[in-house]
């Protein structure tokens, strides 16, 4: 990864970074192998930290960082322990980085979507209607429903919005 960032230095700096890579294994905590735990941690949390560590020195002042968390961090769902822990870690990272990078005008926020039918959620696809029925707005959540909040966060007028986690789930999580 560092060679990619090193090769980009001469091309200018970054204004935005949106990161949504993730994997999810659903099973009871005690049924995980250590290798499975490490893989989820490495993709969802460690990899994100590595990318940010390489990227931040190459970001323009007043830039924007958006990480994808998950609405499951606000619920106590069975079989989501490792996945939820990694996403909660990202939310905590967002708060700390928002404080650390605020002096440069860089905002750092996360988006925590509810269930969206994607490859990531194939393992719970059979529960889609049940999950939709838990929402205040009883219809599928689509990737396009995330676009307005992303657009808002990236807008230069959002310079004072930082350290926040925006839950977009049709009204399942209310806080």
Assess whether pLDDT exceeds 70 at residue 7: no
Element (H, E) at 60: strand 59-68
**For 77, phi and psi rounded to 5 degrees?**
-95, 135
Per DSSP, the three-state class of 149 is helix
pTM (predicted TM-score): 0.88
pLDDT at 115: 81
Stronger pLDDT, 123 or 82, i.e. the higher one: 82
CA–CA separation, 113 and 129 (whole Å): 16
Instruction: Give the residue numbers marked as catalytic.
Output: 83
Average pLDDT over every residue of 57-82: 94
pLDDT at 120: 62
pLDDT at 21: 87
Q: What percent of the chain has pLDDT over 70?
A: 87
CA–CA separation, 146 and 140 (whole Å): 12
161 confidence band (pLDDT: 50, 70, 90): very high
* HSE toward the beta carbon, residue 155, CA cutoff 13 A: 9
Average pLDDT over every residue of 39-63: 96
Average pLDDT over every residue of 157-169: 95
Stronger pLDDT, 118 or 81, i.e. the higher one: 81
Average pLDDT over every residue of 114-138: 74
CA–CA separation, 60 and 77 (whole Å): 39
Average pLDDT over every residue of 73-80: 89
Element (H, E) at 130: helix 128-133
* Per-residue tokens: 31: 């049924």
């Amino acid at each position: 990864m560092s060679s990619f960032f090193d090769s980009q230095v001469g091309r200018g700096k970054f204004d935005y970074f949106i990161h949504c890579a993730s994997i999810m294994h659903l099973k009871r905590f005690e049924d995980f192998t250590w290798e499975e735990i490490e893989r989820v941690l490495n993709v969802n949390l460690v990899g994100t930290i590595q990318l940010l560590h390489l990227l931040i020195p190459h970001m323009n002042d007043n830039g924007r960082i958006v990480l994808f968390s998950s609405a499951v961090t606000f619920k106590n769902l069975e079989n989501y322990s490792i996945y939820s822990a990694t996403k909660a870690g990202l939310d905590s990272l967002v708060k700390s980085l928002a404080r650390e990078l605020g002096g440069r005008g860089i905002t750092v926020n996360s988006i925590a979507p509810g269930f969206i039918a994607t490859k990531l959620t194939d393992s719970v696809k059979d529960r889609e209607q049940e999950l939709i029925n838990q929402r205040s707005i009883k219809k599928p959540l689509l990737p396009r429903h995330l676009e307005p909040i992303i657009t808002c966060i990236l807008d230069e007028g959002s310079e004072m919005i930082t350290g926040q986690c925006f839950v977009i789930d049709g009204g399942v999580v209310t806080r």
